[in-house]
Structure 1
């Protein structure tokens, strides 16, 4: 166990098989929450990652990967639960479409976060067999930890947009920072304007909502208005892990700006437009580095800031 924790992450590991062509596929360790945990560790943060891992080949792959990245792992899986896996099929632009094999089943007790910030992946929110236990955990950490969330929509797993939207909005009251893609919002809100949805989220509780738009960059809405950041142009190998890398760099940048941690809502409200733009631009650079190489492969602090 690490000496002190900066960030706790609760969420999914997924063994991602990337099918580049009918003749070429490679299995990478992945999963949105795992990618965020690794991204934060590469940026120098001490990370405690609670996830569901099976006693199987994919679980061994994930454990070895997270150990190499100096991410401490707490396995919360119920006995006999397999490690989630997915096959990602790439189109000509490098964008991935996923086919999942997923069981998310926690054991009876979720660990109490030990750091000053908790990042929440999508599987515990939308696929949990014990949502009331998760909500109780989130309520219990409000006084000593800020919270971020990436809904990371997976229609194949989540099924009903209306039910998923209700679940998301029930959790937003605990959340300080929410990040979603424009595609996530379109699925959850039946094609509604992404900026309007993000602004509505602020009324539910978060102090900051960030929306990524792929090749069109990203924007954030806060009490001070809307901040837009253009994309960083790179040669794209694939887009796997781009949003997760941006999420990790966003958390890291907001921590550097001293806007996360206990009772962070007031500090997020005080984040001025120039500082927010710097944080967003840096997060966008991190995502650009990731998409310039295969699989989820976020940059180190030296690559990003050097």
Structure 2
């Protein structure tokens, strides 16, 4: 559940020219899951412009169901990407768009093995209230998965946004976050220590660190770290979302989201999950675009 928007990405041949690329973390995760042969539904909102039609084509071609997607005649939100050597910054055009006209889907969560929330829709009104209500229901009646995916913008109140995202994390059964996310949401505490504390409260917490790999924390075991898969990097946009899709695919196809809870996974399964998700993320880094491909099971 969340935003589907358009990333305006500088062209590799001419940085002054930007290409329009469907994006938004929740939409990327939904499409990524479908590409990995995991049934997914996107509970977002699509507008009435050409960008919305491009987003819809992308989701439908991936195999994502749109039966919970709201419709609006308003335009689509834009994110102007500013890629750097290690990560990508964004400048947003969010106000008065269809992207955040989300409906409360609390009544629907029983239908699904997992409910994913996070990102801009979790902090931008009017979507934020619908996301919060759906997340509360998801925490009670499904597996709630949160990727805070912190974004900063002149139109967003950083303190209020951080509070909303921390509230979602407090409800979650599974948290996937970058080291930058953790530092922004819990300043003054090392990201690893924050992850350990959140895991001890009964969660699976996965910390991603870009080229430095990933670490998972569970309620009962020591942290498990896996290096990033070596790859000639063409693009980093959507790599974290592909990793998230890999984690969800692994949890649901192995049944680990049901058998004792993901916070109690044994070390060998945690390592297998991280290794698989890292391969999925690498498949995005090695190409333009954000569509992952299915690696061999490890």
- Quickly name the TM-score band, shorter chain normalised: 0.7 to 0.9
CA displacement at 1:178 relative to structure 2: 0.5
Distance 1:38 1:108 in 2: 20
Greater strand content? 1
Please give the alpha-carbon distance, in whole angstroms, between the structure 2 residues aligned to 1:148 and 1:136: 14
1:145 aligned residue: 142
- Give the superposition deviation at 1:59: 0.5
Q: Deviations over 1:22-66 (max 9, x none)?
A: 344321111111110111001111111111211011101101111
1:113-160 residue CA offsets vs partner (Å, 9 max, x unmatched): 321111113233212326454433333344541010111111116744
Q: Is contact 1:161-1:189 (8 Å) kept?
A: no
State the Cα deviation string for residues 84-141 of structure 1 (Å, max 9, x = none). 21121233x3742212112453355436232111111323321232645443333334
Q: TM-score, normalised by structure 2?
A: 0.88
Cross-structure match for 1:106? 101
Q: 2:211 aligns with which of 215, 220, 231?
A: 215
Deviation at 1:220?
0.9
Report how many aligned residue pairs link the two structures. 289
Gaps of 5+ in 2: none
Aligned residue for 1:225, secondary structure, equals coil
> Does 1:283 find its partner at 2:277?
yes
Distance 1:250 1:76, change over 3 A: same
Q: Higher mean Cα deviation, 163-172 or 42-51?
A: 163-172
Show the 5 A alignment for 1:72-221: 72-73=65-66, 74-76=68-70, 79-91=72-84, 93=85, 95-103=87-95, 104-106=99-101, 109-110=104-105, 112-113=108-109, 114-129=111-126, 131-156=128-153, 159-190=156-187, 192-203=189-200, 206-221=202-217
Alpha carbon RMSD of aligned pairs, Å? Answer: 2.3
The answer for the alignment partner of 1:297 in structure 2 is 291
Equivalent position SS for 2:82: strand
Q: 1:158 to 1:257 in 2, by over 3 A?
A: farther
CA contact (8 A) 2:243 2:281 kept: yes
Q: Which has the higher contact order (CA 8 A, sep 6+)?
A: 1
Counterpart-to-counterpart distance in 2, 1:179 and 1:188:
13
Question: 1:247 aligns to what?
Answer: 244
Cα distance in 1 for partners of 2:102, 2:224 equals 41
Structure 1 SS opposite 2:215:
strand
**Aligned with 1:285: secondary structure?**
helix
Distance 2:154 2:234 in 1: 26
Deviates more, 1:98-107 or 1:272-281: 98-107
Distance in 2 between the 1:40 and 1:50 partners? 14
Go from structure 1 to structure 2 and tell me whether the alpha carbon gap of 1:130 and 1:98 turns closer, same or farther (over 3 Å shift). closer
Instruction: Report the secondary structure of 2:150's partner residue.
Output: coil
In structure 2, what is the Cα distance between the partners aligned to 1:157 and 1:121? 19
Instruction: For residues 143-196 of structure 1, give each alpha carbon's deviation from its aligned partner in whole angstroms, at most 9, with x where no partner exists.
Output: 541010111111116744433332222223321101111111222233631101
1: distance between equivalents of 2:275 and 2:290?
Answer: 19
Distance 1:15 1:132 in 2: 23
Q: Which moved more, 1:238-247 or 1:193-202?
A: 193-202
Distance 1:136 1:89, change over 3 A: closer
* Aligned match of 1:13: 4
TM-score by length of 1: 0.86
Q: In the TM superposition, what are the counterparts of 1:226-237 in structure 2 within 5 Å?
A: 226-237=223-234
Query: 2-side partners of 1:97 and 1:13: how far apart?
Result: 17
- In structure 2, relative to structure 1, the CA distance for the partners of 1:70 and 1:228 (3 Å cut) is same
For 1:171 and 1:62, how far apart are their aligned partners in 2? 26
